[in-house]
Amino acid sequence: MKGTVIYLDHTPDGREAAALMVDGHLHDLVIDPPDNAPPGIGAIAWATADRPLKGQGGLTLKLGDGVSGYLRRAKDIAPGDQFLVQVTSVTEPGKAIPVTPDLIFKSRHCIVTPRKPGINVSRTIRDDEERDRLLEIAHDTDTRDFGLIIRSAAAGAEADDIQNDITEQCDIAAKVLAHQSGPPEWLLDAETAHTLAWRDWENPDDVMQSLGCCEAEGILDAFDTARAAQQRLPGGAHAYIEPTRALIAIDANTGADHSVAAGLKANLALVRDLPRLLRLKGLGGQIVLDLAPMPKRDRKPLEDAVKKAFRQAGSDVVVAGWTPLGNLELTHKRDRLPLSQSWPAT
């Protein structure tokens, strides 16, 4: 099917699942975590500082329900101090959840930043008249002196829809910030899969939301393909993406192409599709690319291609450099539960 289609469905055990198909290919996938999984990105807790981690500059926190958190920047925080924190990434089972005291409240049209005042418009909106319109809408809305970022999805949206979105997020922020005492507890849950699809996937050509629509339309086959280690790449190349406890190992292969430029073509195909592949698989952390053979002079263009691919995908990547064996090392934030855990093989 051509165009952009969003599928809103449920897993067999009742969890929400959302798939984004672009021209018949699976572009993104979000599935609610199992009931026994810790709270996801965006969840907010009233936390109590537990103990500092000497030599690391951070400390552990008690977040409620027996869950532990980890705060990287912990200057001037003593054990027993209490404050609000928000989950920033997904971690492995048994490890403390990374959190931050810098809260944000994100919706389709806006992001409310209570502790960072000022009103701004997404830089991807370049039309000056539209930027002025959005700023006027924002200034005409009671933001309770919270900071505000107007997202790109607000471009062309009705003023009432934008104002209602801003008001709702400011109300939620005010209620959360009003909590200033008591034992550790969770105050705000992470967004569900269907809400995330509405919030982050812009301008679909169609939305399918009947129960079982993913199976009826053959989308489950794409789920299985995304979960597999071997991934086909444009041009006939392929790659194996295999997570270990320490890192993500990725091996690029040229396939049937044995030309002089085959290695570079396969490597470029991999890094250009890498943000999508990692997103679908729910993988992040330390990543090691065992690339197909190519001249050393092509390393800089490949690094540039990596940065461009992740920048266009709206995610961050750190290119750590090349190992003596010629492997490329990256780090990428874990921003969702691995697909192997949220949609296990049957």
User: Is 263 part of a structural domain of the chain?
Assistant: yes
Q: C-alpha 316: how far from its chain's center?
A: 10
114/151 same-domain check = yes
pLDDT of residue 88: 94
130/142 same-domain check = yes
Residue 96 and residue 91: Cα distance in Å, rounded? Answer: 7
User: Is 337 part of a structural domain of the chain?
Assistant: yes
Greatest alpha-carbon pair distance for the chain in Å reads 67
315/275 same-domain check = yes
User: Is 122 part of a structural domain of the chain?
Assistant: yes
Bridge partners (DSSP) listed for residue 296: none
Residue 270 and residue 292: Cα distance in Å, rounded? Answer: 10
DSSP string, 194-242: HHHHHHH----SEEE-STTHHHHTTHHHHHHHHHSSEEE-GGG-EEEEE
273/315 same-domain check = yes
pLDDT along the chain (346 residues), means of 10: 90 93 94 89 96 83 92 86 95 87 97 95 95 96 95 96 97 96 96 96 92 89 92 92 94 87 94 96 95 95 96 93 96 90 74
User: Is 187 part of a structural domain of the chain?
Assistant: no
Domain end call among 102, 123, 150? 102
pTM of the full structure: 0.91
pLDDT of residue 325: 94
202/258 same-domain check = no
Residue 284 and residue 108: Cα distance in Å, rounded? Answer: 25
28/73 same-domain check = no
**Half-sphere exposure at residue 146, Cβ-oriented, CA atoms within 13 angstroms:** 29
Spatial CA neighbour of 241 closest among 219, 226, 255: 226
Q: Residue 86 sits in a domain of what CATH number?
A: 2.40.50.140
pLDDT of residue 274: 97
136/175 same-domain check = yes
Residue 89's domain spans which residues? 44-102
pLDDT of residue 345: 64
Quote the number of domains for the chain: 4
